[in-house]
Structure 1
Amino acid sequence: MSQVSAIITTVNRKSVIKAIDSALKQEDITMEVIVVVDGGNPELIKMIKKSFGLNIKLISDEVKHGGNWARNIGISTAKSKYIALLDDDDYWDTTKCRKQLELIEQNGTDNVVVFNSLKTFGGVSQKIYPKISYRPGIPVADYLFDRKYKGMIQTSTLFASKNTFISQPFDEKLPKHQDWDWVIRAYEKGIKFIQITTPLTYYRINQDNSVSKSMNWKYSYYWIQSKRNNMSLRAYHSFIVGLIFTYISCSDATFWGKKKIMIRLYIDNKISIFSKIGQIGILKIILK
C-alpha cells in the first residue's frame, strides 16, 4: 500500500499535468495519486489519461460541485494513511512529501498538520512565503491575518493523516477562503500545526482571472465576521483593512461609493485611528 495519497483537484486547467507529474515524481516514498475533475471536462480527462494512464486514479463528475467537494471526495477515496493536497495550478518539489512524512511521524500521526513554505511563480519575480515562520502557540487565525505575522498556510502545502482530514472535512458550501476556513476550524479543534520553512511548493500567482473573480468584498466580510471569535481584534482589523478594503477598491462601486463603504466599515468595526492598522486604513480611504 502507498504511504501517501496526493489529492489533486481540477476544473479546467491544463496546468494540472505538471501538478500530477510532480506528485508522481516524489522521491523515496510510495505515492497514490488521485485526480478529481470537478464538473467534468472530456478534453482534459482525455489529456490526463493519455499522459498518465493507470499511474493515477481519476474521479470525475459532470456536475460542478466546488473545490471543497472535490477535496472531500478525493480524501474519502484515498487508500493511504497520509494525505497531501495539491491544487491544479501548483506543483511540488520532489522531496516535499518525504520531508513532511518524516516530520509528522516524529510528532504523532493524528491531530497534526505539517505545512511548508512556498515559492511563487507566474509573476514578475519569484518570492518565498511566509516571511515569518509559524511558532506553536500562535493562534492560526492571528498568524494568517495579523499584520505583524503576515502568515501563509496554503492548500498545496497541507499534509496530514487521512483520519485528521476525515474528522475535519472541508466545508462544501464555501465559494472562497476554503483553506483559511479549514485551518482555522482545525486549529480550534486542537489540531497541531508544524511548519517546514524550506519552500517545497511552487505556487502560481495571477492565474487566469482567479484574482479578480475572488474580490467579492461582501462575502469576505460576512465570512470574517463568522470567524471573529477565533482571532484577536488586531487580526480582525488587519483583515478588514488589508483585504476587505482592497476588494472594495477593485469593486464596481463609484469613486465616492468606495470611500463611503470603507468609512462605514471603519466606524462600524471601531478601528482606532491611533493604531498602526487604523492609520493604514485612513490612508487607503484617502488614496483609493
Structure 2
Amino acid sequence: MPKVSVIIPAYNAMAYLPETLTSVLQQTFTNFEILIINDGSTDNIVQWSNQLLDQRVQLISQNKQGVSVARNTGITYATGEYIAFLDADDLWKSTKLEKQVNYLEAHPEIGFLHTGMVLIDQYGKSSGRVMISNAEGNVLKQLLEQNTVVTSSVIVRASCLKTVGEFDRKLRYSQDWHMWVRIAARYPFAVIKEPLVCYRQHPNNATRNWQMLEQGFEMIETIFQSVPKELTYLKNRSYGYANIYLAWKALQSGDRQQAIYFRNQAITHYPQLRYSTRCLRLNVAITVMQWLGFEGFNNVLSLIYALRRRITSIIPQ
C-alpha cells in the first residue's frame, strides 16, 4: 500500500498540470499514489493521461461538481496513510514529501503538517517572495483570524479526515480554510519552515479576482457559526484581515479606489490594523499607484521582484 495519496483536482488545467505532475514524480520519496480528479474538464486530459506510463498515476473522471467534491472523491479513493493535497497549477520541490513523511513518522501526535511557499508567475519564474506560516501547535484561534496555510503544502493523516469528515461541498469559496479550522479544533498542527511549494499566480487564478473573493465573506459567517462563543470576538479580526487581503487583490487588478475601500473596511472591523506593517505597506502601494498609475505600479513591483530574486540567489541555502 502507498504511504501517501496525492490528490490533484483538475478542471481544464492542462496548461500547467503536466509540469505539476512532473514535480510529484520527481520526489525523492517515492512510495505514493497520485489521484488526478478530472472534474468535468473539456480539454484533452483523458487522452494525455492515457499516455502516462507511471502506474502510480490514476485519473478519476466525474461530472463538474467543484473543487470540494473533487477533493472528496480523491479522499474516497485514497489508500495512503497520509493524504497530500496539490492544486493542478502549483509545484513541489523535490524533497517535500520526504521531509513531511519523516516529520510525521517522528511526531505521531501531529495530525496536520504544512510548509512554506515561494510565489511564481504563470511561466514558473519566481517572484522572490517567500511566505512562511507560523501556524503550529494549537492554531484554532490563529486560523479563525486568517488562513495562512496554502493547500498545496498540506499533508494530513487519513485518520484525521475520517474524524472531521469531508470538505463541505455546499461552500463555493475557501473550502480549504473551513476544513483547516475543523481539523485545528481537534489536532495540533506543525509546519516545516522551508519554501517546499511553488504557488503559481496567473491570470486565471481564482485568488487574483477580488470580486470573486469578496463573495467569500460568507465563509467567515459559516466558520463562526460552529466555534465556541468565547471565540466570537475574533470575527471582526477575521473580517479585518480579509479586507486587507482584498485590498491587495484590488490593487493588482488596477482598482485603487476599491483598494482604499477595502483598507478602510479592514480598519473599521479591526482598528489595530491601522498601524500594522501590512497596512502601512498597503498605504505605500496605494500611494505609488496614485502617483505612477497602474503601469508604473507594476513596474515598481517588477523591480521589487527582481531585487528579491537577486537577494535570494546570493544568500546561501
TM-score, normalised by the number of residues in structure 2: 0.72
2:163 is the alignment partner of 1:167: yes
2:190 is the alignment partner of 1:184: no
Q: 1:167 to 1:250 in 2, by over 3 A?
A: same
Contact kept in structure 1, 2:2 and 2:33, CA below 8 Å: yes
Contact kept in structure 2, 1:141 and 1:230, CA below 8 Å: no
Partner of residue 87, structure 2:
87
Contact kept in structure 1, 2:115 and 2:196, CA below 8 Å: yes
Q: Deviations over 1:197-229 (max 9, x none)?
A: 122111111342534445335522222233344
Residue type of the alignment partner of 1:93: K
Helix, strand or coil for the counterpart of 1:125? strand
Contact kept in structure 2, 1:220 and 1:244, CA below 8 Å: no
| Equivalent-residue separation in structure 2 for 1:134 and 1:128 (angstroms) | 16
Q: 1:88 to 1:175 in 2, by over 3 A?
A: same
Partner of residue 300, structure 2:
none
Q: 1:174 to 1:250 in 2, by over 3 A?
A: farther
| Equivalent-residue separation in structure 2 for 1:266 and 1:39 (angstroms) | 41
Q: How does 1:117-132 map to 2 (within 5 A)?
A: 117-122=116-121, 125-130=127-132
User: What is the deviation of 1:84?
Assistant: 0.9
Partner of residue 107, structure 1:
107
User: What is the deviation of 1:113?
Assistant: 0.5
More helix per residue: 2
Contact kept in structure 1, 2:243 and 2:265, CA below 8 Å: no
For structure 1, which segment, 42-51 or 78-87, has the greater mean C-alpha deviation from structure 2 after superposition?
42-51
TM-score, normalised by the number of residues in structure 1: 0.79
Residue type of the alignment partner of 2:176: D
Residue type of the alignment partner of 1:215: Q
RMSD over aligned CA atoms reads 3.6
For structure 1, which segment, 7-16 or 241-250, has the greater mean C-alpha deviation from structure 2 after superposition?
241-250
Helix, strand or coil for the counterpart of 1:108? coil
Helix, strand or coil for the counterpart of 1:235? helix
| Equivalent-residue separation in structure 2 for 1:133 and 1:264 (angstroms) | 26
Helix, strand or coil for the counterpart of 2:114? strand
2:22 is the alignment partner of 1:26: no
Identity of aligned residues (%): 21
**Gaps spanning 5+ residues in structure 1: where?**
146-150
| Equivalent-residue separation in structure 1 for 2:168 and 2:261 (angstroms) | 33
| Equivalent-residue separation in structure 1 for 2:265 and 2:273 (angstroms) | 17
| Equivalent-residue separation in structure 2 for 1:275 and 1:116 (angstroms) | 29
Residue type of the alignment partner of 1:239: Y
| Equivalent-residue separation in structure 2 for 1:265 and 1:2 (angstroms) | 45
Partner of residue 148, structure 1:
none
Partner of residue 198, structure 1:
194
User: What is the deviation of 1:45?
Assistant: 1.6
Contact kept in structure 1, 2:173 and 2:213, CA below 8 Å: no
Residue type of the alignment partner of 2:95: T
Q: How does 1:36-75 map to 2 (within 5 A)?
A: 36-41=37-42, 43-52=44-53, 54-61=55-62, 63-75=63-75
| Equivalent-residue separation in structure 2 for 1:124 and 1:171 (angstroms) | 33
Residue type of the alignment partner of 1:236: S
Partner of residue 217, structure 2:
221
Q: 1:13 to 1:211 in 2, by over 3 A?
A: same
2:238 is the alignment partner of 1:242: no
Q: 1:28 to 1:217 in 2, by over 3 A?
A: closer
User: What is the deviation of 1:55?
Assistant: 3.8
